[in-house]
Each structure stands twice: as structure tokens, then as C-alpha cells.
Amino acid sequence: MDRELACEIVKDLLPLYVDGMVSDVSQKSIEKHLEDCTDCNGVYHSMAFNLEKETQPSEVQDVKRFLKKTKHMYLFYGLSCLCFIAILVCMIVDLAVNKGITWSLIVTTAVIFADALVYVLSVCKKNKGYIAMAVVSIGTFCLLSVIQLVRYYLMDAGTVWIFRFGFPIMLLWLGILWIPMLFRAFFKWNIWDCIAVFMVLTAVGNYITKLITGDYVWNDVLRVHNFMANALGLVIAAFVFFLIGRVKKWRK
């Protein structure tokens, strides 16, 4: 065979040869050719070197991913141990001082709440914001209930405020946080419009909170200058965010 033609054929086959995809007969001929031909041998070596370089990063990435995972794990276990010790110390002090579990129950709930939030944020890859909000919602509910339980029933202090004030105000403000997030999730609103809605809802929420606590009666809305100034500021801020959203959209 013409030597030039042989070289062309070998070079054409080299990618398959490097991947180990050629027949035994072809493999032997190619090896024999590579021994005699420095030109083809050079091409073969650069090809094999590039292949090695291509495979290396994925292995490096695997190791990095493993290390990151281990780091997360240790961080979480470390945090859990620390929390456990804190809870234990609080309970011992509580038992010694109050002859029972009282305020340490509040500390325990708060620590578990914080731990759950950290865990969820480190484990979840997608929809972190929504999942964190769900944990915050459930956690707030538990924490308020435990505070009421401990103060009124275990410590004989204060009054029952949770049904009259606690839950209504909690639901109101969780709703104010959730509504813009749900608008973003379901109607694909941009972040600026969501902030604008949040600002307007905050103004409304301030007023309803005052109604719940009994500081205002329903028709005070136009008479309380303090509230009006506050609400006006929030509405103007909302309008500015709304405008930023329009400008961003227009520039696209």
C-alpha cells in the first residue's frame, strides 16, 4: 500500500483506536504502523493526552463534590451536637431553678426550628425560598403555641393571648410574605413587582395589626396621621419598585 494512503487511513482510525473500538486485526496493523511511523505516532500521543485531560476534570469534580458533601455533613452534625448541648444545659438549669421544664421548652423549640431551617437549606437544591418559607411558617406556629403553653399553663403567668392576637397576627403576616412569593411562582412575576406588592400589603398589614391589637378602630384609617404617613411612604416605595420592574422589562 502507498505509505501516504496508509498514514491517512491510520489517522482516520486513530480516534476509534484510542477509544478501543477497532477490531483485533485493525488494532495490530495500527500498532505496527505506529512503531514505524513517527508522524502518526505523534498524532496518536497528542490524541491520547487530550483524552486523559478530558476525563480528569470529571474525576476531580467527583472528589470536590464528595468533599463538599462531607463538609456539609460535618457542619450539620457539629451544629446538631452544639444545639443538643445547649438544650441539655438549659433544661438542667430550668429543672434546678424552677423544679420543672418551663422556659427551656421555648429554647428547645427555637433551636429545633433554627436547625430544621439550616438542614432544609443545605439539603434542598431547588425551590429553596419556598421550602424555607414553609419551614418558617410551621416553625412560627409551633413557637407561638409553645410560648403560650409555657407562660400560661406551666409558669402561671400572663393571659391567653394566642387565639385573640397570636394566631391572627401570625396568619396575617405569613400571608403577606406568601402572597408575593406565590405570585412569582404561579404568574412568573418579576422580583420588582413582587416587592411592590409586598410593600402595599405591608401598609395594609400594619393597619390590620393595629385593629387586632385594639389600638385603632376600623374607621380610624383617615384620622391617624402616623399611620397615613407610614402607608404613604410604603405606597411610594412600591411605586418606585414597580417602575424599576417596567424599566428592566423595557430594556430587555
Chain positions contacting Zn ion, by CB under 5 A: 7, 37, 40
The cell for 188 is 412568573
Distances (CA, A) of 95 to 82, 87, 150: 20, 12, 14
Closer to Zn ion by Cβ: residue 40 or 201: 40
Nearest residue to 13 (alpha-carbon basis) of 25, 1, 2: 25
Cα 14 off chain centre by: 47
Compute the least distance from the CB of residue 17 to Zn ion, in Å: 13
Assess contact for 135 and 120: CB atoms under 8 A: yes
Closer to Zn ion by Cβ: residue 34 or 197: 34
Q: Cα–Cα distance between 77 and 84 in angstroms, integer?
A: 10
Compute the least distance from the CB of residue 54 to Zn ion, in Å: 24
Assess contact for 112 and 122: CB atoms under 8 A: no
Closer to Zn ion by Cβ: residue 19 or 35: 35
Closer to Zn ion by Cβ: residue 41 or 145: 41
Compute the least distance from the CB of residue 58 to Zn ion, in Å: 32
Compute the least distance from the CB of residue 20 to Zn ion, in Å: 20
Compute the least distance from the CB of residue 39 to Zn ion, in Å: 5
Assess contact for 125 and 99: CB atoms under 8 A: no
Q: Cα–Cα distance between 141 and 129 in angstroms, integer?
A: 18
Closer to Zn ion by Cβ: residue 41 or 230: 41
The residue whose grid cell reads 438544650 is 87
Residues 6+ apart with CB under 8 A from 172: 205, 208, 209, 212
Closer to Zn ion by Cβ: residue 48 or 217: 48
Compute the least distance from the CB of residue 67 to Zn ion, in Å: 45
* Sign of the alpha-carbon dihedral angle for 172, 174, 178, 180: positive
